[in-house]
Amino acid sequence: MPESSDSTSPAVPSRRGVLRAAAVVGGALGVPGGLAAAGGQPAAAATPSTVPSPPPELPAGLEAYRTPYINWAGEITHTGLWACAPRTGQDLADLANWAHANGWRLRARGKAHTWSPLTITGPDESDRRVLLMDTTEHLTRMELATPPPGAPGAVRAQTGVTLETLTAFLAEHGLGVTNTPAPGELTLGGTLAIDAHGTSVPAVGESPRPGHTYGTLSNLVLSLTAVVWDAARSAYVVRTFHRGSDKECEALATHLGRGLVVEAVLQAGEEVPLRCRSRVDLTSDELFAAPGSALAARGNTFADFLDRAGRVEAIWFAFTDKPWLKVWSLSPERPATARAVHHPYNYPFSDSLPTPVARLAGRLVGEGAWYLAPAFGAAQYTVAATGLAATFATDLWGAAHNLQFYLRPTTLRETANGYAILTRRADVQRVIARFAAYYSEQLKTRAARGEFPVNGQVEIRVGGLDRPEESAAPGARPPLLSVVRPPADRPDFDCAVWIDVLTQPTTPGAHAFYRDLERFLLATFDGDYALTRVEWSKGWAYTDTEAWADPEVIGTTVPASYGPGQWAEAVGVLDRLDPHGVFGNAFTDRLIRT
C-alpha cells in the first residue's frame, strides 16, 4: 500500500476512479478499436519488405540483416533497411572504410526516439546504400573514470548505453547529473548528438555544485572517442579528443548525426535526492501571467516557482485551463509528507492511456473526428489530476534519476515541434507569457473556424545554457552546435525557455499551425530580449504541409541564430573529420554546410 501524503488519504480515489473520471469526459464516445496501444505505430512500417538486393558483404565478423526503422511518432519510417550490430570501435572504423570504398552511408540508430530526419529521411531512403548500425546490442560498456580536479566523479561509457542504465550506475557510486530528458530509454550517443536537455536553473540562493551543469548533457563531456578520417593514412580511424585542448571535441559534442562517437567520458557530481511536487489547481492565466499584472502579483507564476525550486515543468493539455505543474527541488532528506520512490516512471496513469481516453484518441485518428480535440484535452487533464491523487504521486521523493525519468515508450506517441528561447532569467516570465497568449488566441480563433490543429500538450521547461565554467575541463568551450551555446554578443542571456507543442501526426492543419507558430517565435524573439533557436530532435522549418522543408529556415535562419563564424567553424571541423560524407544523409547535407 503506498504511503499516504496526508491524513485524508482514505478519501483519495482508487485507480479505478481514474478510469471513471476519464469516462465522464470520453466514455460515451467510445467505439471499438481506436488506438491498439498508446505507443502504436503504423502496421505497414513494422514489417520489412522483400527487397531483391542481396545483403552487402560487410567487413569480417559483421553480418547484415534487414530491419525496419520507425521514429518516435511514426512519421519517418522505412520498411526494411540493411543493418548490423558492431561490437567494437574498430568495427565502426572498418565499417566506415568499407562504406567509403563502396559508396554507402552509415547511420547510428540507437533507440530511434527522435522526431527529426537526422538518422534517415523517410521511406524513400536508398536502402541499397544506407546501413544502420545498432549500437544498443554490444556498445554498452561503462566504468568509472578518474575525474579531473573540480569534479567529484567521471564515467566512461560507450554510446549504445541508455541514460536510464547510465544514471543508475552513477547513483550506485553516489554520483548523478542535474539534467536529463524525461525518457530514460535514450542512448548516450543519441542524446549527445542533439544536446539533449532537462529542466533546471539555480533556485534563488542555490550554489553551483561541482561536476554538475544546468545546461545540456553535451556540456558534461570531458573527452570523446570517435571514428574520423585520417588524411595521412587515407583511412577512417578511431581517435580520442579531449575537451578544452582539441576543438574537434566541441564539434563532436553536438554533431547532429554528422559524426560517429564510440565512447564518451562525462563528468558527474554528487547525487542529491530530489522532491517532486505536482499541482493541477493553478490556471494557465495565473501560471503564465504577464509580469506586472494582477494575476502575477499572486506569486504563482512559472518564474515564481523557478525562483523557489529551480526545476519546473508545465504540461498544458490542449483546450484546458489548468496545466499539470511539476516542481523538483533538492532534498537531501525525505520530507514527512513525501512518498519515497525507488524506481523511475512513477506516473502509471500516463504510461498507457485509460480505455476511455484511448477511445477518444481512436476517434480522432481513426474516424477523423478532430473536433473532439477539446474533449480529448479535458480527458487527459482529468486522468492526470485524478491519477496523481489515486497513485499518491502529488509529492514524491527519491534518487534524482528516479524522479527525472517519467516517460515510458508506452505513452501516447505524438509529433512535436521544439524551440529554445534564450533569454535573461529576469525575462523568463515575459517570454512564457507572450507565447501562452499567442497560443491560446490561436486555438480559440481556429476552433471558431472549425479547425482543431492541436490535440496534444504544450510542454514548457527552463534550463541553463552550456557554460564553459561548469565544465571541469580546463579551457573548455561550449559545444559549437549546442542549442543553448551562449550567444557571443549577448553575455546577459543566462537561460533558455524550452517550448514544445504536441499533436497527433495526422492532424489536419497541424503543419500550417506549426508554421505560423514558428514564424511568431522567430519574429517575436529575434535577439532583442530573447533569441529563438530550433531544437534539433524536434519539428521545425515548417511549410504549410510538412516539417524540415522551409529552405530559408534551414539555410539561413538556423545558421544565423548561431552566428556565421561559429556555424562555419562547426561545419568545417565536421567536414574535415568526415570529408567523404560517410556519416550523413540528404537532410544533413542541406543543413550542415556553410
Cell readout for 231 is: 588524411
Instruction: Judge contact between 253 and 221, C-beta under 8 A.
Output: yes
* DSSP code per residue over 33-65: -S-SSTT---GGGGS-----SPPP-PSTT---E
Alpha-carbon gap, residue 125 to 79, rounded angstroms = 10
| Angle at the Cα of 524 from the Cα atoms of 522 and 525, rounded to 5 degrees | 70
Q: What φ, ψ does residue 404 adopt, rounded to 5°?
A: -85, -30
The CA-atom distances, in angstroms, between 401 and each of 164, 208, 588 are 8, 19, 32
- Element spanning 156, H or E: strand 153-158
Three-class SS of residue 27? helix
Instruction: Judge contact between 257 and 130, C-beta under 8 A.
Output: no
The CA-atom distances, in angstroms, between 305 and each of 67, 193, 278, 312, 405 are 46, 31, 12, 7, 20
Residue 573's Cα: distance from chain center in Å?
25
Cell readout for 428 is: 523568463
Q: How would you classify the pairing of strands 105-108 and 130-133?
A: parallel
Count the neighbouring beta carbons within 10 Å of the beta carbon of residue 325.
Answer: 21
Those residues with Cβ within 8 angstroms of residue 124's Cβ, 6 or more apart along the chain or in another chain: none
Alpha-carbon gap, residue 287 to 232, rounded angstroms = 59
Catalytic positions are 113, 313, 459, 461
Work out the widest C-alpha separation in the chain, in whole angstroms.
Answer: 73
Alpha-carbon gap, residue 511 to 516, rounded angstroms = 9
Instruction: Judge contact between 436 and 284, C-beta under 8 A.
Output: yes
Dihedral sign of CA atoms 133, 134, 137, 141 in order = positive
Cell readout for 361 is: 484518441
Instruction: Judge contact between 199 and 327, C-beta under 8 A.
Output: no
Q: What φ, ψ does residue 67 adopt, rounded to 5°?
A: -150, 145
* DSSP code per residue over 411-424: S---EEB-EEEEE-
